[in-house]
């Protein structure tokens, strides 16, 4: 059962929206909260989860699905590109969490991937 179909354009747009609002997990004010979160209590989300619909987020919140199960519940129109966006977000989040010198480079790479076509 697919709960949502995500397009690359939707993922990019939502990632840009959350980035502008400072609500990506890589931007969390608490470095220890800069990890993959589908819907943090304070509204922070990872890059792809920013595009998740309410039904999918609710399933995560209830604990009825985990990330592995979500792969079967979300259809992606360009899995490779969407995975690269998520990976770039995660690398940026890890770099910023640990204060690595390459944090600005990781953020810039992420922003390149989500730019409007």
105 is written with which tokens? 């480079």
Residue 103 has pLDDT above 90, yes or no: yes
State the angle between helix axes of 8-20 and 79-98 in degrees (0 to 180), rounded to the nearest 10.
20
Residue 4 has pLDDT above 70, yes or no: yes
CB atoms within 10 A of CB 40: 15
Helix (H) or strand (E) holding 74: strand 74-76
Residue 31 has pLDDT above 80, yes or no: yes
Domain residue limits, the chain:
4-114
**Is 43 strand, coil or helix?**
coil
Residue 66 has pLDDT above 60, yes or no: no
**75-100 tens-digit pLDDT:** 889 989 999 999 999 999 999 999 99
Is the sign of the CA dihedral 114, 3, 63, 69 positive or negative? negative
Q: What percent of the chain has pLDDT over 90?
A: 56
């Amino acid at each position: 059962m697919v709960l949502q179909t995500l397009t690359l354009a939707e993922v990019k747009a939502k990632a840009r929206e959350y980035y502008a609002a400072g609500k990506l997990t890589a931007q969390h004010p608490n470095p220890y909260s800069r990890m993959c979160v589908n819907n943090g209590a304070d509204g922070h989300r990872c890059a792809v989860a920013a595009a998740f619909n309410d039904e999918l987020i609710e399933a995560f919140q209830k604990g009825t699905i985990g990330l592995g199960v979500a792969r079967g519940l979300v259809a992606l129109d360009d899995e490779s590109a969407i995975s690269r966006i998520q990976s770039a977000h995660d690398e940026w989040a890890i770099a910023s969490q640990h204060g690595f010198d390459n944090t600005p480079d990781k953020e810039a790479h992420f922003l390149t991937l989500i730019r409007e076509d």
